[in-house]
Amino acid sequence: MTLPTATIDKLAFGGNGVCRIDGKVCFVPFSCPGDEVSLYVTTQKKSYSVASIADISTPSPSRTAAECSIFGLCGGCHWQHINYSTQLEGKQKIVEDTLWRGARVPAESISEIVASPLEFGYRSRLQFKTSVQNGELRIGFFRQGSHEVVDAPHGCLVAVPVINEVLTRFRRILMSFPEVKSIVQLSIDSGDCGVIVVLHHTGMLTLDAVRYLADKSDEFGPCTGLFLKSDSHSRCEKVWGNSEISYRLNRKDAGDGPVILTYPPGSFAQVNLLQNSSMLSVVRRLGAFETTEHLLDLYCGNGNFSIPLAVEVASVVGVEGNAESIRAAESNKSVNKVANVLFFCDDVAAGVRRLVSQKRWFDTILLDPPRAGAGDAIAGIICLKPNKIIYVSCDPNTLARDCGLLINNGYRVVETVPLDMFPQTFHVESVTLLCR
Give residue-wise pLDDT tens across range 116-173.
999 999 999 999 999 998 889 999 999 988 899 999 999 999 999 999 999 999 999 9
pLDDT band at 398 (very low <50, low <70, confident <90, very high): very high
pLDDT above 90: residue 355: yes
- The C-alpha atoms of residue 186 and residue 130 are separated, in whole angstroms, by 7
Mean pLDDT check: name the lowest of 88-92, 191-195, 230-234, 288-292: 230-234
pLDDT band at 229 (very low <50, low <70, confident <90, very high): very high
CA-nearest of 69, 95, 433 to 283 is 433
Burial 292-304, CB ≥16 within 10 A → b, else e: ebbbbbbbbbbbb
pLDDT band at 63 (very low <50, low <70, confident <90, very high): very high
Mean pLDDT across the stretch 32-41? 97
pLDDT above 90: residue 2: no
Burial 389-405, CB ≥16 within 10 A → b, else e: bbbbbbbbbbbbbbbbb
Mean pLDDT across the stretch 84-90? 98
Q: In Å, how far are 51, 123, 270 from 64, measured between CA atoms?
A: 21, 21, 28
Could you give all domains of the chain from N- to C-terminal order, each with its CATH number?
A: 5-63 (2.40.50.140), 89-117+272-435 (3.40.50.150), 125-245 (2.40.50.1070)
User: 217 near 240, Cβ under 8 Å?
Assistant: yes
What confidence tens digit (pLDDT) does each residue in 170-187 have? Answer: 999 999 999 999 999 999
User: 140 near 129, Cβ under 8 Å?
Assistant: yes
Mean pLDDT across the stretch 13-35? 96
pLDDT above 70: residue 53: yes
Q: Whole-prediction pTM value?
A: 0.94
Mean pLDDT across the stretch 370-384? 96
For position 93, what pLDDT does the model report? 98
Tell me which of 68, 77, 223, 394 is the catalytic residue.
Answer: 394
Q: Would the CA dihedral through 402, 406, 345, 292 be positive or negative?
A: positive
pLDDT band at 235 (very low <50, low <70, confident <90, very high): confident
pLDDT band at 264 (very low <50, low <70, confident <90, very high): confident
For position 144, what pLDDT does the model report? 83
Q: What single string gives the DSSP state of each residue in 272-295? A: BHHHHHHHHHHHHHHH---TT-EE
Q: Could you tell me which residue, 264 or 409, shows the higher pLDDT?
A: 409
Q: Examine the residue annotation and report whether 394 is marked as an active-site residue of this protein.
A: yes
Instruction: Please state, rounded to an integer, the average pLDDT across all residues of the chain.
Output: 95
pLDDT above 70: residue 1: no
